[in-house]
Chains A and B, each alone.
Chain A
Amino acid sequence: MWVSVLVIVSLFVLWELVVRVAHVPQFILPAPTDVFAQVYIKRDALLRNLQPTLVATGEGFGVGVVVGVGLAMLIAGVPLLKAVVYPVVIATQTTPKIALAPLFTLWFGIGLLPKVIIVALLVFFPVFINTAAGLESVSKGRLDLMKSVNASRWAVYRHIRLPEAVPYLFAGLRLALTVAFIGVIVGEWIASGRGLGYLLVLYNSTQDTAALFAVIFVFVFLATVSFYLLGWLENRLSWQVRIQRSQQS
């Protein structure tokens, strides 16, 4: 933890030095202090636009996770559905979703909905694939054990498959989180008059590079916080983390 902080602070110092010493023009690369100043100056605009971005990311993430986990559970429970679901999933994933964004604007207008759909589409896939893999990664020995007491499919599901899938789910969620932020920015570039992504476009067009960086800083901060939240959640919920932790200590 302290090492990470030290590294980040050193990078900022280095950055500041390079900009100041080499007299880099601010519209090319502003110094970190200028960027932080912009974060403060533009705090109203940033806060105002933070909210729709958060909402779109949160809702899209939620929808993507629920659909991804739900569908994975469905095909694990009803193997017949696998043949139906997989081709559709692969088809949606081979379509470049970013390219669909303008289409969503056409269909759903400008606002929250197209952003949520883009985020959800991006989030869905890693969650679905990982959870499905987790639900299927059951050792023969454990299945034999359950079979030896004639355990029902539901019992196998509840006692073996679901807990087995938890670490996989978290691996999927971590991937999903990164693509969720990509999705929301792209959505706001194309299909929104609000949000941090929209601010990026705005400040870019006015060549206000320091403000542009201010938005990026806020984004990075947001993503970092989300990652830590997810890690915290994983610490509480994943049995695998508990094992890893005890083996380190």
Chain B
Amino acid sequence: MSASQTVPSPNGVAEPTAEPRAFVSCRRTGLVYQGADGGEVIALTDLDLDIAEGEFVSLVGPSGCGKTTLLKIMGDLLAPTAGSVEIDGFSPRQLRERQRIGQVFQSAELLPWKSIADNLVLLAKLSGKTVPREQTEAMAETLGLQDFLHRYPHELSGGMQQRAAIGRALLLDPALLLMDEPFGALDEITREKLNMELQRIWSEHRKTVVFVTHSLSEAAFLSDRVVVLSGRPGRLVADVRIDAPRLRTTEYRFSSEMAEVVARLHGALTGEGEAS
């Protein structure tokens, strides 16, 4: 909410300001693991990050910068070896055990033996929720999948499968939605289309989203804030707020305003990037 209401600065980019209350807060979070050669690999080190409720934050950075690691720590799929992460007053584990974290991965991970309708409600059901038919149908409608509820995943295109994966996470009604390169495997046009749809869905549900991507333009288009991480060891090198008003349009995607944001992200990535 706060981001969309802030008055945009002249160039559409502003330095991050202190949020009144952090919804997600990472304090000196780090993860070190044992490499294949027996040496220690620092995947992420000393990361401080606050995310406000309802905010859409993207993590960008070169491969191996720890962005996926950070996402997995937030989702309690990995445990940090240093520092802490708190989400809405809970640890990631507590939040996961309360089934309030929605996950979307690069591969849709739909179950091929279940229909789209069954896939959509799978996680919600496993977390003990009863999902009324109408709710599933409404979600399918939102995602443009209303005609595919009784189809099976292999009958859907990659983009549609990914939409179903997003719907599956949203039906959980999560407090935090974690998306790990959800459109990474899609072609450019499909990706842009799904960016628009994700923005629309997000603006309807206003979930707090942490979104990992390789694409600077995708990050600039979707996010309230883009956090740039550097490679090995993963550290935060820039935190760029994007105040362009919602809903952002295709015109915005090709505007000089967004081009400037992308240029700035690019500068942060290359300028600060250190070779391992």
Q: Which residues on A are within 8 Å of B, measured CB to CB?
A: 139, 141-142, 144-151, 155, 159-160, 163, 166, 239-240, 242-243, 246-247
Contact = CB atoms under 8 A, between A and B. Distances in A.
Nearest to A155: B126
Contacts of A145: 103, 105, 109, 123
- Residue with the highest number of chain B CB atoms closer than 10 Å, among A141, A146, A166: A141
A148 B154 contact: no
Contacts of A242: 152
17 contacts: A139-B109, A141-B109, A142-B109, A142-B111, A145-B123, A147-B76, A147-B77, A147-B96, A148-B102, A149-B96, A149-B123, A150-B96, A159-B122, A159-B126, A163-B113, A243-B112, A246-B152
B155 interface: yes
B117 to A, nearest CB: 15
Given A139-B109, A150-B97, A243 B123 contact: no
Where chain A touches its partner, the secondary structure class is helix
B63 to A, nearest CB: 18
Nearest to B118: A159
Contacts of B155: 246
Interface residues of B, number: 23
A191 to B, nearest CB: 42
Interface of B: 75-77, 96-97, 99, 101-103, 105, 107, 109, 111-113, 122-123, 126-127, 152, 154-155, 172
A130 B25 CA distance: 46
B109 A151 contact: no
Nearest to B169: A148
Top 5 closest pairs, chain A to chain B, by CB: A239-B113, A148-B103, A163-B113, A141-B109, A149-B127
Given A141-B105, A148-B103, A163-B111, 15 more contacts: A141-B107, A141-B109, A144-B103, A145-B123, A147-B77, A147-B96, A148-B101, A149-B172, A150-B127, A155-B126, A160-B111, A163-B113, A166-B113, A246-B154, A247-B154
Contacts of A147: 76-77, 96
A144 B111 contact: no
A149 B173 CA distance: 12
Contacts of B97: 150
Contacts of B126: 146, 149, 151, 155, 159
B93 to A, nearest CB: 9
A160 B123 CA distance: 12
Contacts of B105: 141, 144-145
Contact of B75 (A148, A160, A243): A148
Contacts of B99: 149-150
B91 to A, nearest CB: 13
